[in-house]
Structure 1
Amino acid sequence: MAEQIPFGIAENLLMKLGSAVFHEIGLMYGVRGELSKLKEKLSTVGAVLLDAEEKQESSCAVADWVRRLKDVVYDADDLLDDFATEDLRRKTDDRGRFAAQVSDFFSPSNQLAFRFKMAHGIKAIRERLDDIANDISKFNLISRVMSDVRVRNNGRETCSVVEKSHKIVGREENKREIIELLMQSSTQENLSMVVIVGMGGLGKTTLAQLVYNDQGVVSYFNLSMWVCVSVDFDVEVLVKNILMSATNEDVGNLRLEQLQKRLQEKLDGKRYLLVLDDVWNEDKRKWGQFITLLPVGANGSKILVTTRSTRVASVIGIDSPYIVEGLKDDESWDLFESLAFKKAEEQMHPNLVAIGKDIVKMCKGVPLIIETLGRMLYFKTQESHWLSIKKNKNLVHLGEKNDILPILRLSYDNLPVHLKQCFAYCALFPKDYIIKKKLLVQLWMAQGYLQPYDENIDLEDVGNQYFEDLLSRSLFQKVENKYDNNMLSYKVHDLIHDLAQSIVNSEVIIVTDDVKIISQRIHHVSLFTKHNEMLKGLMGKSIRTFFMDAGFVDDHDSSITRLLSSLKGLRVMKMSFFLRHKALSSLGKLSHLRYLDLSYGWFENLPNAITRLKHLQTLTLFNCIRLKELPRNMKKLINLRHLEIDEVNKLSYMPRGLGDLTNLQTLPLFWVRNDGGESRHKRMGRLNELRFLNNLRGQLQIKRLSNARGSEAKEAMLEGKQYLECLRLDWWKLPATQESEEAMLVMECLQPHPNLKELFIVDYPGVRFPNWMMNDGLDLLLPNLVKIQISSCDRSKVLPPFAQLPSLKYLELSNLIAVECMMDYPSSAKPFFPSLKTLQLSDLPNLKGWGMRDVAAEQAPSYPYLEDLRLDNTTVELCLHLISVSSSLKSVSIRRINDLISLPEGLQHVSTLQTLTIRGCSSLATLPDWIGRLTSLSELCIEKCPNLTSLPEEMRSLRHLHTLKINGCPYLYERCQKETGEDWPTISHIPEIIIRRW
């Protein structure tokens, strides 16, 4: 059986051995010669890896040779990491800075012992490599350059593959026909099904997405849900995923009966569309069990199924499914041409065009193959390369077997060697798994797959580039993960996942209930099941990844502890369940661990054994609700780059010495300690621990700033943290320990770097904002600021001049009861909120206006890009003003403005308005007749308006209005009753009407 070639790790080793760091190590420890020999031998072996990859397919002996090589490469990687870490530790002084003198590199007490250990380890590795190199001639392995498409440009490395937009061709007619099927109503059926059938790669999912997102379909159905099914047709999981899609909320561990009840409540009486993507289940009993749990819904409800099998359609009860065919010849060429050539480049290469047209005909109209080959040939101008694809035997025989996997293998074979292991590693995740880029990059980094082309380049940047390169080749797909605030995430196409699995063979395994045997050659394991009987089969194996993302294991069973103790070479461990403190004691033995995820752990503190993990790069502690304390000697984790932690814990301070971790890039939260009686406590770190952490990226939230002092805030040196994108300053209202003057001094010292994009301020007790915020040149100090959120700062009367910020798109101000105006600035030449898209003002009872420049009314500043306006408990004057000068609004929410007796007149001119919410306006008695002019309005929500007595006749004109919600309006509740209410004829045309008494 073929083995995966360790391209990435082998190249990484060569790069390390040739670096200045290892040159210095060799000199210091007297092993320069041994390191040089090791590099030479590794270069010899590395030169034949491409040939070995091909020959092992037909030679068991070569596959065994690769297996031996992989073992020694893994051991060499561990050994060199030990040396590099020792180098870093000895060069780091108490403040985490590098000492200037090389003479302090090691102390006499352990110099001899460590030198002996080092020399012995290198020699043992080299001898094993000698044996492997000696077999090269026996297997007739030929040296070949591991061609790499990366090029150097002014000292920076870029990839020649350029991201090209995903083009969808030839599916408009299919889309129209399926939409017609979905919108056919039957008087006999409240729920019916449409099944799309086609071979893998034809674009069934893409077609279903086109239909699902069509505006007509969105308007026709009251509720749309999308669920990926794939191989595992577990009825309980399926119902849970449908509920999650319908509500955007995790439904937890509800039993099937509870799930069914919730589903009934959500879907009953609604015309819904449910898409079940990629169904494989051919068990009629399971389908019957599922369909009985599904509410029938209102007339016209539909289930849209995509599947590769006509037998699945038969099981579902559909005799005439919708069959998707391949693209037509001209459509196929249009798609291929857009991906394989730059704009107008095809005119320069007529020979390639001729060959390309032959290749496209052989693709049989399968979009996935066309797209894969097109992207693969982009930038390739050698005719021989195109001819080799045309003559590929798998492409020639495609029509005979309809097996496209061997053709997709071409996309892997043509990957640069540095991407091969990175792609294959994705077989660790099950099909349809939502992948976050940051996680995957951290896992690649832990495995040693990332190769920086320059010692000054961050591994994370290298990993991000690798990811984008794979994405550009269609080996990843972008998806919106609506369970995570619609953050952009990624998936691997089912067939691409099959490709990854075919490459790794038995090296990677996803343990499910069906797995009975675990290969001895296993290196990467993931568990996505609640049943873990196979854990004992992992004992003592050479496992580098143990990834557990589901299930709740109670480690009162000592098998967990025994298992962890036996996995000596583990690089990655993710155990997201209620792990208790007992099992943690064995973690210190995992000396090569680089990635550790203990999310959902059921422990109050981490044992100091954790600090023995000297190679650890990522420590993740999400949802550890009992956690009170981080390890007191965390400064020993000198390789730590990411401390992933959230607010779901009981931490109250950060450990002293955290500031020594100068490699740290991720530190989302920092708790400022309480000085009360514990100021000299040796375990507690001050705010000035942040001083040398200048590599911090992403978000930093500083909590309990009420415990801080100006002197230590100044030493935090936030102004020097150029990579920070989001800063959250939280005073956290506890019994006040800080006077306003001290708070203002702290705030003054926390000025961020101009690169900052988001600023959040909570519970700030100062009577005025700091000088750097009140500066007339704020647009120069924070030119990149995109989002500002300020809440519960109840002493400041004047807001900073936010209107001049050039990049500001989101402004949210809440519970600022003292604020009266915004600071004026003299220059009328500066635009007013030039980029603002969302403005949310809540509980600002004294803010009557912005305190703008003294200009004539006709020259009053407008908000050219404002789309979303939310006003809650503000003055009527402010409400009237904002709506009168905002002509591009799409969404307006007016809440708790008790003096408002009618909607602002200026609203009638906002032709772009799509959503209008009115809540808690007790004086509002009528809606104006001009509401009928809001022709773009699609959703109207009226809540807690007890004096609103009727709806205007002109609402009949709102033909785009598809949702009307009325809640807590007693008059309207009676008048809008179906068929009997006086206002029912006015609203009966609206597809979704939700009316509740309270």
Structure 2
Amino acid sequence: MGVKDPYVLSGLIPEKSWSLLKKIAFGDDTIQVDQKIESVGKEIAEKCKGVPLAIRSLGSILKGKSEEKEWNDVLRGDFWKLCEDKDSILPVLKLSYNNLSPQQRQCFAYSSLFPKDWEFEKDELVQMWMAHGYLDCPVDGKCIEDVGNQFINIFLMKSFFQEPKWKEDGDLIGFKMHDLMHDLAKQVAGDDCCYLLDNKAKGCLGSPMHVWVEFDALYLLGSLDASRLRTLIVAFPNVYDFMDREKQHSLISRFKYLRVFKLCDDLYIELYVSIEKMNHLRFLKLSLTCTLKKFHKSIRNLVCLQTIEVSLDPKIVLSTKVVSKLINLRRLYICQCTFRDKTPVGFGKLSIPQHRGVNFSKWLSPLTNIIEISLTFCQGFKYLPPLEGLPSLKSLYLSNLDDLEYIYYEVPTHEPFFPSLKRLDIWDCYNLVGWKRKGDDFNDINTSSHHLFLPQFPCLSYLKISECPMLTHMPTCPNIKKLSLQLVFPTWEETLNIAPSQCSLSCTPLSLQINLKNVSQYWWQNLTSLENLKFVCFSSQQFQAIEIWLFKEDFNYLSSLRNIQFHYCNRIKALPDWICKISSLQHITIEDCDQLTLLPEGMTRLTNLHTLEIIRCRLLIEECQKETSATRPTIAHIPNIIIKSDWN
């Protein structure tokens, strides 16, 4: 667009370049290093011409190297001449690439298939690598996904990937790739990976193995060697014209040797594709609004499938008998589907309304390799079959299953109950009562003591329950690390009592959005090791009840609490005074509390409090900004006060 006074960005100055190189190579830019190595290191840093990516790449190569010769080998490397000739740092990056293992090189080159500035999903990329056999089977008892996750961490550490994104529980979600790293990946991938764009019909050379094609360029698939193609990713531009449906079918159905088939973007399209002959398919992901006709018939013989992530037209019925044949399945994500099983085995008949009738067999039992199951917005689930015997299941996500009432389990034998389950999310299952042992009648169960007879989750560390008002029959969780309870009701008294009473909850972030009417005071008194606590939608009356239970006889049951958060507590005008008794507090966050105007005077006693965040609390912000405000002296001792008045 042009600019009157350009500001030319220069590279890092030599001092900062050496500081960054030392930090990457030694983990600390303040430590003393051998003078000879420092002299060589400063020359290396200067040769990088202040480019941080080049410095980080070389730093990762030199990490752990303490011999002067090793540093001199980098300084005298032939690649510097290439950098000068091409006026590019790609030779530096290529040196870092050459230090990867052969498997890691394959994985890195594969990432060139995605566009620049693409936001990679960590799990998806690992599953694609796995589908192509790029990951060696571990020998130390870990699962093959752990190898992929280790590769991701190495790529982040060595700056092949950047801008990591994290879940609230600390798990890595995704990341991006620097444009220059993308150029390198494209260079080393050669003709194996290519794009097919309608306005760049000549952009694909040779016989590629992995193809990204925009929908309006689907016609270009006809020119590819069908016997070589292993990955097909179809993306949808903002504006496109639909091709003839039969032509879609014939073009995509040619590729019988695909291992990865993905449709990107959430645009509605009826894709009339036959995939039943893709016997080598291992990864199948269809966008949330895509429709694949006769889905269950298509996957009947695809026994190599490892990952299925699909959203189906509610009119499509998926047979559970078909799913049970996918013995290599590791991850199952199904949204908006109706399940039926016309050939019940095991349980016999279960009473379900005719229009959503399901007679379940133990349809998940054969899936011994399954690691993750996600069922959302699915009809036909009044009961779930026993899942506790799946030896590899680590994550279970159930959401918006309106019909679901019970999850069956069998009488425990010598086998552990859910031996590998680490994460359990249950959202918006309004009729779910809980776990039910085969043969038991809920009407005859004493609710107050039922949890004592349920098995324990031996490995469960993350539990999140939201809007499940009927849920009362939950197994205990002795090893919980993070617990989030939202919009549950007084019937949860028994379930609440089982969690903290079974463990100390040290370091556990506890999120609460509950009705406390019948919650026992003893539940709160098991929180002495709790470090993070979040209140959502609490009233003044609820905070008063907590004060009675937590600070009885001047004893503080929250003696380890470091961080406390108040979210959407719209009915309170002042924070509860009892927070001033928690001398261990370091960080307070107040967010979207519309009526809040006052902070406790006793906050001056919180000498360890170093951060106060006030976010979108209009009245409180106005009060704090007044020159004569009575609130200002109470927070004057806090070093970091962060105020955000809007969503920006």
Determine if the TM-score, normalized by the shorter chain, exceeds 0.5: yes
> Matches of 1:434 and 1:755 in 2, distance apart?
30
> Matches of 2:619 and 2:34 in 1, distance apart?
69
**Superposed displacement of residue 593, structure 1:** 1.2
**Superposed displacement of residue 529, structure 1:** 6.4
Check if 1:723 corresponds to 2:400: no
> Matches of 1:902 and 1:421 in 2, distance apart?
58
Secondary structure of 1:660's aligned partner: coil
Q: Could you tell me which of 434, 458, 465 is aligned with 1:782?
A: 458
1:505-904 → structure 2 map (5 Å cutoff):
505=190, 507-511=192-196, 515=200, 517-521=202-206, 523=208, 532=216, 535-542=218-225, 544=229, 545-551=231-237, 556-558=242-244, 562=247, 583-584=248-249, 587-598=252-263, 600=266, 602=268, 609-624=274-289, 630-632=295-297, 634-645=299-310, 653-669=318-334, 673=340, 686-701=360-375, 707-708=381-382, 713=385, 716=386, 718-728=387-397, 732-734=401-403, 743=406, 752-761=417-426, 762=429, 763-765=431-433, 774-775=451-452, 781-789=457-465, 791-794=467-470, 796=472, 805-820=478-493, 832-842=504-514, 844=515, 846-852=517-523, 862=528, 864-872=530-538, 875=542, 877-881=544-548, 885-886=557-558, 887-893=561-567, 895=569, 903-904=575-576
Check if 1:326 corresponds to 2:3: no
Q: Could you tell me which of 443, 450, 459 is aligned with 2:128?
A: 443
More helix, by proportion: 1
Secondary structure of 2:124's aligned partner: helix
Partner of 1:96: none
Partner of 2:612: 937
Q: What's the C-alpha RMSD, in Å, of the aligned pairs?
A: 5.2
**CA pair 410-618 structure 1, distance change in 2 beyond 3 A:** same
Amino acid at match of 2:5: I
Contact 1:848/1:875, CA 8 A, preserved across alignment: no
Partner of 1:24: none
Secondary structure of 2:420's aligned partner: coil
> Matches of 2:218 and 2:317 in 1, distance apart?
36
TM-score by length of 1: 0.50
**Superposed displacement of residue 993, structure 1:** 7.3
> Matches of 1:347 and 1:882 in 2, distance apart?
53
Partner of 1:425: 110
> Matches of 1:865 and 1:484 in 2, distance apart?
14
Q: How many residues align?
A: 596
**CA pair 590-535 structure 1, distance change in 2 beyond 3 A:** closer
> Matches of 1:450 and 1:597 in 2, distance apart?
20
> Matches of 1:677 and 1:852 in 2, distance apart?
37
Task: Report which of the two structures shows the higher radius of gyration computed on alpha carbons.
Answer: 1
Contact 2:14/2:46, CA 8 A, preserved across alignment: no
Contact 1:596/1:620, CA 8 A, preserved across alignment: yes
**Superposed displacement of residue 491, structure 1:** 1.8
**CA pair 822-815 structure 1, distance change in 2 beyond 3 A:** closer
Contact 2:568/2:593, CA 8 A, preserved across alignment: yes
Contact 2:320/2:340, CA 8 A, preserved across alignment: no
> Matches of 2:602 and 2:410 in 1, distance apart?
47
**Superposed displacement of residue 680, structure 1:** 12
**CA pair 484-673 structure 1, distance change in 2 beyond 3 A:** farther
**CA pair 537-753 structure 1, distance change in 2 beyond 3 A:** closer
Amino acid at match of 2:520: G
Contact 1:840/1:869, CA 8 A, preserved across alignment: yes
Partner of 1:316: 3
**Superposed displacement of residue 861, structure 1:** 5.1
**CA pair 626-515 structure 1, distance change in 2 beyond 3 A:** closer
Amino acid at match of 2:485: E
**CA pair 518-892 structure 1, distance change in 2 beyond 3 A:** closer
Contact 1:705/1:731, CA 8 A, preserved across alignment: no
Contact 2:454/2:476, CA 8 A, preserved across alignment: no
More strand, by proportion: 2
Contact 2:396/2:425, CA 8 A, preserved across alignment: yes
> Matches of 2:492 and 2:594 in 1, distance apart?
23
Contact 2:24/2:56, CA 8 A, preserved across alignment: yes
1:238-257 → structure 2 map (5 Å cutoff):
none
Give 5+ residue unaligned stretches, structure 1. 1-283, 285-314, 563-582, 854-858, 965-991
The Cα offsets for residues 95-122 of structure 1, whole Å up to 9 and x where unpaired, read as xxxxxxxxxxxxxxxxxxxxxxxxxxxx
Contact 2:83/2:90, CA 8 A, preserved across alignment: no
**Superposed displacement of residue 496, structure 1:** 1.7
Check if 1:499 corresponds to 2:171: no
Partner of 1:570: none
Contact 1:634/1:655, CA 8 A, preserved across alignment: no
**Superposed displacement of residue 435, structure 1:** 1.5
Secondary structure of 1:814's aligned partner: strand
**CA pair 419-944 structure 1, distance change in 2 beyond 3 A:** closer
Contact 1:748/1:771, CA 8 A, preserved across alignment: no
Contact 2:485/2:511, CA 8 A, preserved across alignment: yes
Contact 1:375/1:473, CA 8 A, preserved across alignment: yes
**CA pair 629-372 structure 1, distance change in 2 beyond 3 A:** same
> Matches of 1:407 and 1:467 in 2, distance apart?
20
Contact 1:627/1:650, CA 8 A, preserved across alignment: no
Task: Quote the sequence identity (%).
Answer: 22
> Matches of 1:821 and 1:937 in 2, distance apart?
35
> Matches of 2:446 and 2:511 in 1, distance apart?
20
> Matches of 2:563 and 2:499 in 1, distance apart?
28
Secondary structure of 1:657's aligned partner: helix
> Matches of 1:795 and 1:460 in 2, distance apart?
33
**Superposed displacement of residue 412, structure 1:** 2.9
Partner of 1:907: 579
Secondary structure of 1:868's aligned partner: strand
1:89-488 → structure 2 map (5 Å cutoff):
284=1, 315-319=2-6, 321=7, 323-328=9-14, 331-340=16-25, 358-378=43-63, 388-396=73-81, 402-452=87-137, 460-480=145-165, 488=173
**CA pair 642-455 structure 1, distance change in 2 beyond 3 A:** farther
Contact 1:597/1:619, CA 8 A, preserved across alignment: yes
Contact 1:433/1:491, CA 8 A, preserved across alignment: yes
**CA pair 677-541 structure 1, distance change in 2 beyond 3 A:** same
Secondary structure of 1:496's aligned partner: helix
Contact 2:246/2:272, CA 8 A, preserved across alignment: no
> Matches of 2:497 and 2:490 in 1, distance apart?
20
- Looking at both structures, which has the greater relative contact order when contacts are Cα pairs under 8 Å and sequence separation is at least 6? 1
**CA pair 475-350 structure 1, distance change in 2 beyond 3 A:** same
Contact 1:588/1:610, CA 8 A, preserved across alignment: yes
**CA pair 493-593 structure 1, distance change in 2 beyond 3 A:** same
The Cα offsets for residues 935-969 of structure 1, whole Å up to 9 and x where unpaired, read as 84331555999xx9xx99313445665547xxxxx
Contact 2:592/2:617, CA 8 A, preserved across alignment: yes
**CA pair 652-888 structure 1, distance change in 2 beyond 3 A:** farther
**CA pair 881-399 structure 1, distance change in 2 beyond 3 A:** farther
**CA pair 801-846 structure 1, distance change in 2 beyond 3 A:** farther
